Amino acid sequence: MGYLDYSIIAFYLLFALGIGIYFSRRASRSSEDYFLGGRSFPWWMIAFSMAATSFASDTPLVVTEITRRDGLQRIWWVFVAVLTLIVGIFLFSRLWRRAAIITDAELEPDPLVEPESICDRCMACVQGCPDAIPHRTEGRTVSIQIEDKTYEWADVHMGRCTLCYHGGDPRVSPFIHKTFPGYEFDVRKQDISEEAAYKLCWPFSLGKWRPTEEDPSGYIVEGHARIQQWGGDGSYGIEGSRGCMRSCFDHREQSGRIEQTFENGPFIKRPRWLLSHRVPNPGTGGET
């Protein structure tokens, strides 16, 4: 072997090591990121990965041995495998996804969390959420049983939750107050489904209108659209899970129920606010 051969080998090893270091942080986020790349690969990249697997060190050696021993007519099983793989993917891929299978390797399950060991029914979520989570006194809950444990949680009104989170509630969006003077919409009086709320919020928040001197961007609600663009993953949140997540995190931190706390003070550092569901109209001298 000469200098060029060693250079090629060294370049390959450094390239492989560099890829591993570059993607190590992303892969360490979760098991799904580690085994499936976060389900973010395009189809052609997955196809190249499967083809590369067939050119591993074991497969060519096996095919060579079978050909030497049985002749070329024995290679039919390679071509049949292609057809069976295609049919198998179309028939079973949905079942694999539903079963949450992410790797052929056997993974040891974590022990089940004890019921009510996380939620102490403090109702901080109800106080923080703009009227999508029912109070425990209402008795509206959902429960499931996994093995010998029963888990119960509030029966959240997902239509109102979606309206709040995705920019349909004037109380949590100063962008609506800026864009629609005189607008009035009370989420607390709505009884629509989650799907209907999505159909209302997404075009309302991300849709475009003709650019004007008042709104040169052309977006219906520019602030909502900018948040969606800055998020980077296609979704967006206006209300920011202030009840179901943020209020819960803050309570668990203050009550000492978690060991890893946030730096630089408490998780929620400023007083919570809610705007009016009636947007003032300066042109009429007050609220509508």
pLDDT tens across 79-121, in order?
777 788 788 888 888 887 777 777 777 667 788 888 888 888 8
Q: Express each pLDDT in 235-277 by its tens digit.
A: 788 988 888 888 988 998 888 888 888 877 888 888 888 999 9
Element (H, E) at 151: strand 149-154
Q: Average pLDDT in the 7-34 region?
A: 83
CB atoms closer than 10 angstroms to residue 279: 21
Average per-residue pLDDT for the chain: 84
Place of tokens 């003032």: 280
Backbone angles phi and psi of 42, in degrees to 5: -70, 165
The pLDDT of residue 68: 83
Q: Kindly state the tokens that stand for 166.
A: 């995705």
Q: Is the pLDDT of residue 182 over 80?
A: yes
Q: Is the pLDDT of residue 53 over 90?
A: no
Q: Kindly state the tokens that stand for 277.
A: 């569901």
Lowest mean pLDDT, pick from 5-19, 24-38, 133-147: 24-38
192 pLDDT tier (thresholds 50, 70, 90):
very high
Q: Find the distance separating the first CA and the last CA of the chain, reported in whole Å.
A: 84
Query: What residue ranges do the domains of the chain occupy?
Result: 3-98, 158-284
The pLDDT of residue 101: 76
Q: Express each pLDDT in 209-231 by its tens digit.
A: 888 887 888 899 999 999 988 87
- Asked if residue 243 lies in contact with residue 132, where contact means CB atoms within 8 angstroms, the answer is yes
CA distance 281 to 127: 29
pTM: 0.61
Q: Is the pLDDT of residue 287 over 60?
A: no
Buried (b) or exposed (e) across 229-244, using 16+ Cβ within 10 A? eeeeeeebebbebbbb
Q: Average pLDDT in the 7-36 region?
A: 83
CA distance 65 to 105: 28
